[in-house]
Structure 1
């Protein structure tokens, strides 16, 4: 018979809310197995008779018999006719060590990770909220997406392609989508792309991880903007690269600092069309200077064109890749911002010599992107729906940006100064009052509002305090409610 503490342990395991979805016999089997694994029931110890244990637990004998049968099948107990059930003699592995030891280290001690694993873990990863709060940066409007049209196109694909869309896809991406992407970036972004140079991925983050690990070795130097998109910096940090921050001014990254740097770097990471988070556009002379620098030093330009579809003051400047005659620029784009995050389709336009290495490397990450979504997106683009949708949302986002700027000036004049961007899905605000950035962010979070602090995006200590306010996912009425709530939260924080 079990000791009282062992019986109570089994009862507690059975009743735990996390286990109630299991059949009763499975819960009893798992509870007894855990006692054996923990060493509370040693090898050779007898188990209670099924009738006695059933009475103690208030269950049927058949339930106990089913639990014991599973424990026996898994090798945890021996059943002897006429003698009863006993913990199996699992005395040694081939190495001579006992499998279950009371002096074993705690099961939940910190794991020993690789250097890269530690860098990934302690870097905190990239967190996208499942249900974004007001002002979460980089979140597009999804309620206006033409879902019925998308579903109709998807049904067309299923009828025409059939079960082929259920099979493994081309690791480089379906040809139809690669052709549609090449046509789009050539027309709208001034790129130099062909379908055979496009690699379809799940996100721009995956593209940066590929660049960091395929093109550079641990210890190699890479120039990055300061401030910079945190996902890019984390991708390079976890690959073991030496990130060298280069200041950004109102004309973009200060290229002369790169040209004057005596120590060579293997790459530079840029958001030239709409610098994250400042919103600056990289000046043409600096673009040309960086193109020549990359060619001279056989370095790479990693161009992240993450939200260029949404430009509210004239047409955006053409991408760097389209200006580069030396094929040293890697152009990264995504549909996460222009369509919806759940699509999980991004892409990269590669120099010809990188297409095969990058495609093969991609097969080691996730194999390929889902063919059905790719084929549907290709049809969405080919039919002119993508361009129409982007134009429609550009107008909506411009109105929302104007509403946010007016409301911030009206309700938050004692706290922040808005910096109106020419594009994008978020507006930078600089703190002007006595509140610290941390206090302001915490006050907003306590009020159900998400603000991304600017200081954390800087590598140096001379950052201006402030935060980003995303506006794309909220209507003007929703923005007004959230701004007033933030104003109340910040006023309350100043009185503490």
Structure 2
């Protein structure tokens, strides 16, 4: 028979809610198997009869018989007619047998990774704000999304396509969605897009990874804005690229500094990364003359412009500036867009508008990452755009976000003016706040998180050391009364750090 401790261990294992999805006989079987793996049950040790164990565990005898049969089939126990069941001698040869789970593997030992794997791990990845806590940047309001309309369109897709909608999508994306995207960016962003130049992806982060690995080799240099979107820099670092920072001013990237850096010995770069419509995180818009100068830089050097147009739909004063891709007659610009922020994060649909020579290489490279995007959301989104629902939703949310931006600006002036200064952005979904007192940024971000507030520190977005500490506050996902409560909490956090 089992000792009391062993029997209690089996009971605890099968009663653990973590294992609740398993059938009862499988839980009994795996509990006994774990005792064998841990060396608690010695080789040759007799097991209780199925009747006795069933009575001790309060289960049926058939349940224990099924568990024993599976253990026998896997070679963990032997069953001898007239003698009962015993731990198999083969169990002695199991790797790690006789060692506890904590000591069988040195959990503190760093695994051997490739240089690329080490760079990816050391970067910490790109942390999404999973729950819409205030003031997580880049998180849209989803409570206003027209779910009934989306559900109706999805039903239309399933009715029309039937089981065909359950198959693979072409790696480049469903043609209906590529057509809808091309029409949308041509009309709203002044792009030069055709369906055959659109590549549908799961995220803008995937697009950045593709650009980093397909366009440039490890060790090559890429010019980036400073400060810059952290997801872009991490994608470039992970690909082994050398990021060359270019400073900004109120008109966006300092193109004169880009040209100057390009002439420096050993500073040849094959690409430049831009967020020209609404720079992340400063909110600056790249001036027209600078857009044209960057295009000319790319033409002369046969370099690439990677344009991330991540939240261009949300401009609150006048018309948004046309995208760089639409101005580039030389076709050196890769345009990246996403529906994550304009619709909802769970959609997982983004896209690139590519120069014709890059369509095939990028599409093939994409198949090595995840093959294709799910067809049903693609086809539903295509109808959502074609039916005018996307435009209507963006217009609604633009008004909502503009109000929330103004509310947050007022609340910051009212409650945080002793700690930070801010400039009200002309667009986007977040507001930059810079400390005017000696407050440790990391400590402020951590303390705010413990208080239920998510902030993105500014320091990690800069490559140079010449910057002020502070944070970004997302204002899109929270109503005015929710912002009011959260700003007051944040004021208490900053007040505590100043004393």
TM range (shorter): over 0.9
**Pairing 1:415-494 to 2, within 5 Å after superposition:** 415-494=419-498
* Alignment-derived partner of residue 297 in structure 2: 293
Cα-to-partner distance string for 1:118-143 (whole Å, 9 max, x where unaligned):
22222222222332111111111111
Residue 412 of structure 1, aligned match among 416, 425, 428: 416
Residue 344 of structure 2, aligned match among 340, 345, 352: 340
Residue 269 of structure 1, aligned match among 268, 273, 285: 273
Q: In the alignment, is the contact (CA less than 8 A) between 2:96 and 2:104 conserved in 1?
A: no
Structure 1 residues 215, 62: CA separation in 2 closer, same or farther (over 3 Å shift)? same
Report the aligned-residue RMSD: 2.2
Q: Secondary structure at the match of 1:233?
A: helix
Task: Compute the displacement of 1:484 (Å).
Answer: 2.0
Structure 1 residues 162, 225: CA separation in 2 closer, same or farther (over 3 Å shift)? same
Structure 1 residues 321, 42: CA separation in 2 closer, same or farther (over 3 Å shift)? same
Residue 303 of structure 1, aligned match among 302, 307, 332: 307
CA distance in 1, matches of 2:450, 2:91: 54
Task: Compute the displacement of 1:6 (Å).
Answer: 3.8
Structure 1 residues 59, 162: CA separation in 2 closer, same or farther (over 3 Å shift)? closer
CA distance in 2, matches of 1:55, 1:125: 51
CA distance in 2, matches of 1:75, 1:299: 61
* Alignment-derived partner of residue 194 in structure 2: 194
- TM-score (normalised: structure 2): 0.92
Match status 1:279 vs 2:278: no
CA distance in 2, matches of 1:56, 1:155: 52
Task: Compute the displacement of 1:348 (Å).
Answer: 0.3
Q: In the alignment, is the contact (CA less than 8 A) between 1:227 and 1:247 conserved in 2?
A: yes
Task: Compute the displacement of 1:60 (Å).
Answer: 4.5
**Pairing 1:178-257 to 2, within 5 Å after superposition:** 178-257=178-257
**Pairing 1:63-78 to 2, within 5 Å after superposition:** 63-78=63-78
- TM-score (normalised: structure 1): 0.93
Q: Secondary structure at the match of 2:428?
A: coil
Structure 1 residues 376, 8: CA separation in 2 closer, same or farther (over 3 Å shift)? closer
* Alignment-derived partner of residue 106 in structure 1: 105
Q: Which runs of 5+ in 2 are unaligned?
A: none
Structure 1 residues 237, 91: CA separation in 2 closer, same or farther (over 3 Å shift)? same
CA distance in 1, matches of 2:491, 2:14: 49
CA distance in 2, matches of 1:231, 1:330: 17
Total equivalences in the alignment = 491
Q: In the alignment, is the contact (CA less than 8 A) between 2:222 and 2:241 conserved in 1?
A: yes
Q: Secondary structure at the match of 1:90?
A: helix
Q: In the alignment, is the contact (CA less than 8 A) between 1:415 and 1:433 conserved in 2?
A: yes
